[in-house]
Amino acid sequence: MSTDKDLLSVQQARDLVDAAHKAQAEIVRFDQAKIDRICETMAKAVLREAARLGAMAVEETGYGVPDDKREKNRFAAEDVWNYFRGLRTVGVVSESKDVVEIASPRGVVAGIIPSTNPTSTAIFKVLIAIKSRNAIVLSPHPSAARCINESVRVMREAGVKEGLPADAIGCMTTATIEGTEALMKHKQTAVILATGGIGLVRAAYSSGKPAFGVGPGNVPVFIEGSADVPKAVQDILTGKTFDNGTICASEQAVVCDAPIESAVREQFKAQGAYFLSAAEADQLGKVVATPQRSLNPGVVGRSVEVIAKLAGLNVPPGTRCLMAELGGVGREFPLSMEKLSPILAFYVVDGLARGAERSYEILRYGGMGHTAGVHTRSREAAVRFGGEMPASRITVNTPTTHGAIGFSTALPPSMTLGCGSWGGNVTSDNVSPLHLMDIKRVAFETRPVKSVRPAVSSSTAAAPARPPMPQRAPARATTAQPVAASGPGKINREEIAAIVDRFLAGREPPPSQSTQAPTRPAVEAEAGSMYTAPSQASRSTERAGTGNGGGGGAERRSTAAPASANGHTTVDFVSEDDVRRAIQKGEKIYITAKTIITPAARDIGEPAEIFAKT
């Protein structure tokens, strides 16, 4: 039977991802207005069902408090959506003169949903996936499959009314370990959002897919000597008891500054906490932790009354939280672990430095990278404490439960909290739609790159390539007149040949080369190629001694037959060396409309304003 269930789960995962992949191909074409309209409709629909879905979650799992579940559903549907409502996720999302950013969706998101916060996490992941134009397939924890599927149904039906493909949101009804692995490893799965136990998160990271996993949160909170003690205690108990401590960012241990210990203890007692004796703490520890020192799921999200009964303890009526003073952190102190229930460890230290050390120890025992809290009137002390914490979020003067998720702080609202490299996670952010997009960047040149061979300027480069000219006769009478150009923009090849002839005749050949002038076919071929292919033009000018670096060191002259106009001597041909000599002497080079200027000469001469037209 178990094997049949696994096979069914694997096949279901495959079918859902295949369908979601096809649906995502439609979503990617939606404009921003349509995406936002779909998300708005889904958020409003699930918000109306927040209380019912919260009650379903408590009934199915036995974890938490119905009204607190309702509030978490409201947070996921309303606060999260309102925060990201204006976020651009389609097309150009950011633009400057130098860089244009364009958003692309990832594809199919695999969303792993826990039993501690089932409906709120499902709502959150569906919203951020669709907002970023992805499809999503959820794998629910088996003990919360019914309430998670119901949350998905509400959102899917609302989205379909606004044009969302029905298969864009899928949820497994039969979720086994094998089925979840098939979902994560499917070839069409693009990215994984994994919320759950450490084993599941590790499986996500080993799936070969990009994954945003979150770790456990053994959260310490330090009450520094300058703190407003009544408010600090109130905040800690509010965070610890919210939904019976099922949020991973809830406080797990109080670290109290010695000078205010008495006041802190009195406030905890006055506000409903019960300090256990050493014997009672040992008794409770045996129930909270298994022999392998893992958390007993039987206490997760349970009330004080249920936990006390399991441990055989008698506590005063109305007790909100059980507190155990401990002498250390680690396996020998089972109540120093993450407890996900209304139980707090209690430590006393002397000073900020020692408080930070103890808090570091607590984080190291199962909470690395997640969250820490501090209560203080000193901003400097808060920053100093935060600098010592291997945590992605350090909340100040607020419940860590509410502060870390962005309910009572300016952090992005999220039900998936990254733990950074401390916790073996890929991000330390509060996960959002931004993490489910790829950003393409169109980057324009801001700093030109020097090249050994200048580009051919547009004035000398030919536009379309011309057909090759017929081969000319080997010789040409010196009395031949240049052939007139046949129209505007046409090249007079005979005139070019004459100009190049005069230039080459005036050059002094390098000693190692023959002084015999090149034959006419060679000259004409080079002159013609100057205008038919830019790269060939560069090579021809180099062979004529006009390229970068020169040829054999011979002095070069502009032309052999300069002309005169308006009192200035004009030239028919200008090389790079002509320009360099003019720059050194501070002279101008006078040109006419028919003057030929090599690309290298133009690139150097025009910025220096060497050329003067007559």
Spatial separation of the C-alpha atoms in residues 45 and 40, rounded to whole Å = 9
- Give SS3 for 96: coil
- Give SS3 for 141: coil
Beta strands in 31-188 (DSSP E): 91-95, 99-105, 108-113, 135-140, 169-171
- In three-state form (DSSP H/G/I as H, E/B as E, the rest C), the secondary structure along 101-114 is EEEEECCEEEEEEC
Spatial separation of the C-alpha atoms in residues 603 and 311, rounded to whole Å = 87
Cα dihedral 550, 552, 553, 554 in deg (nearest 10):
-100
Do residues 128 and 161 lie in contact, with contact meaning Cβ atoms separated by under 8 Å?
Answer: no
- Give SS3 for 573: strand
Return the amino acid letter for 345.
A
| The Cα angle at residue 441 between residues 440 and 447, in degrees rounded to 5 | 160
Q: What is the largest CA-CA distance in the chain?
A: 125
Token digits of residue 300:
């997760």
In which order are the strands placed within the sheet that holds 437-443? Answer: 91-95, 99-105, 437-443
Spatial separation of the C-alpha atoms in residues 252 and 339, rounded to whole Å = 7
Spatial separation of the C-alpha atoms in residues 11 and 179, rounded to whole Å = 8
C-alpha distance from residue 204 to each of 66, 190, 553 (Å):
30, 12, 68
Spatial separation of the C-alpha atoms in residues 285 and 58, rounded to whole Å = 25
Question: Which burial class, exposed, middle or buried, applies to 327 when counting CB atoms under 10 A from its CB (0-12, 13-18, 19+)?
Answer: exposed
Token digits of residue 327:
């002498």
The one catalytic residue in 39, 147, 248, 419 is: 248
C-alpha distance from residue 136 to each of 112, 154, 284, 496 (Å):
10, 15, 41, 68
Q: Based on the residue annotation, tell me whether 419 is a catalytic residue of this protein.
A: no
Q: Residue 596, Cβ neighbours under 10 Å: how many?
A: 22
Backbone angles phi, psi at 100, to 5 degrees: -115, 125
Q: Residue 178, Cβ neighbours under 10 Å: how many?
A: 17
Spatial separation of the C-alpha atoms in residues 602 and 459, rounded to whole Å = 9
Bridge partners (DSSP) of residue 157 are none
Q: Which residues of 268-303 are buried (b: 16+ CB within 10 A; e: fewer)?
A: beeebbbebeeebbeebbebbbeeeeebbbebbbbb
Please identify every residue annotated as catalytic: 248
